[in-house]
Amino acid sequence: MPMLDVPIKIEPDPEWPHFKVWERIDDIIYSIPAYFETELLIKGINVTEIFSVGGAFASVVENQVVDILNNLRNIWDPESEYADYAFVRQSQTFPDVLLRSLRDENEILFGIELKSWYVLSKEGEPSFRYQVTPDACATADFIVIIPWLLSEVISGTPKLLIPYKESARFAAEYRNYYWQNSRQERDENPNIQTPPEEYRHPYPSSKQESSDKAVADKGGNFGRIARAGILDTFVNKIKSLDYLGIKIIHWIMFFKAISETSTDEQIGRRLQTLKSQIQADMSESEKDRRSFEYKESFSDLVQQLEDLWQKSS
């Protein structure tokens, strides 16, 4: 099998009757965090168990996003041309969300495959699997990843960060491109099994198999698009954000340090190593910017990590 070329992203034709509403939604997606509200308040999580909260709130975040999009109707439908349409969730099939007619469920404008990413997860990147076959994606469909964490890191309410947005079809094509080329480079089986032809169409029913599958995938890694490189810029941007005075990448390193050790002595050594890494990173950052942008001194920042651990131990 010859090496594949990088897929080309194709967006909806500007002459498409629904292009304007699609374009408005395309812009609105990035503003979702500003409208997110929830009454959920989490307390009492042990620091060593922080990774466990990710899955528990994924559905809450995803449900809220659908409500937000519907509540912003005055922005994406200012002339009330789509009064009979709404965003609706669907389960166990692709995509998670549809913008469709409320009178005729088969009249679909486009869909959104919605994923949430708990940014303090051990993996340090989105770990979900995205396996839909490219032919099941309409040109206008999106894949959207919503990163989130708790407002006080180990307590508080879910807080959303800048989303990732991409063409659902392009992401599926890029996944296959990466899988096949990377396997060929390692002299491994690169073949991908596609669904039956009659199922390879946009908006399949829950009874129709619409996922691609790797023929040889002992590790179960096919579909983990974060490993394909397509999310690298997005993931690195999120990790570089300051949250409560500390970069998110350092929060991740801190939680891993105390969850992967068993004794106070081991944790102490890991924390000292982490403190040195944080100080080194911040010192270099300060040199680059010639200004100190953090709210507190280096020592105060790293002390926050030790205090957080001591309170939960």
Count how many residues are written for the chain: 313
pLDDT for 62: 78
pLDDT at res. 23 = 97
Q: What is the 3-state secondary structure (H, E, C) of the chain?
A: CCCCCCCCCCCCCCCCCCHHHHHHHHHHHHHHHHHCCCCCCECCCCHHHHHHHHHHHHHHHHHHHHHHHHHCHHHHCCCCCCCCEEEEECCCCCCCEEEEECCCCCCEEEEEEEEEEECCCCCCCCCCCCCECHHHCCCCCEEEEEEEEECCCCCECEEECCCEEEEHHHHHHHHHHHHHHHHHHCCCCCCEECCCHHHCCCCCCCCCCCECEECCCCCCCCCCHHHHCCCHHHHHHHHCCEECCEEHHHHHHHHHHHHCCCCHHHHHHHHHHHHHHHHHHHHHHHHHHCCCCCCCCHHHHHHHHHHHHHHHC
Distance of CA 218 to the CA centre of its chain: 24
User: Average pLDDT per run of 10 along the chain, which is 313 residues long?
Assistant: 81 97 96 88 68 71 89 96 95 91 95 92 88 96 94 86 96 96 92 90 85 92 93 95 85 76 68 73 52 45 60 53
Structure tokens at 42: 């989490």
First to last CA, the chain: 55
The radius of gyration of the chain from alpha carbons, rounded to an integer in Å, stands at 22
| Residue 284: predicted pLDDT | 54
- pTM of the entire predicted model: 0.86
Number of Cβ atoms within 10 Å of the Cβ of 70: 14
Domain chopping of the chain, boundaries? 19-237, 241-312
pLDDT of residue 252: 85
Q: Which residues of 96-110 are buried (b: 16+ CB within 10 A; e: fewer)?
A: bbbbbeeeeeeebbb
Give the C-alpha separation, 251 to 256, whole Å: 9
Query: How confident is the model at residue 290, as a pLDDT?
Result: 37
pLDDT in the model for residue 277: 73
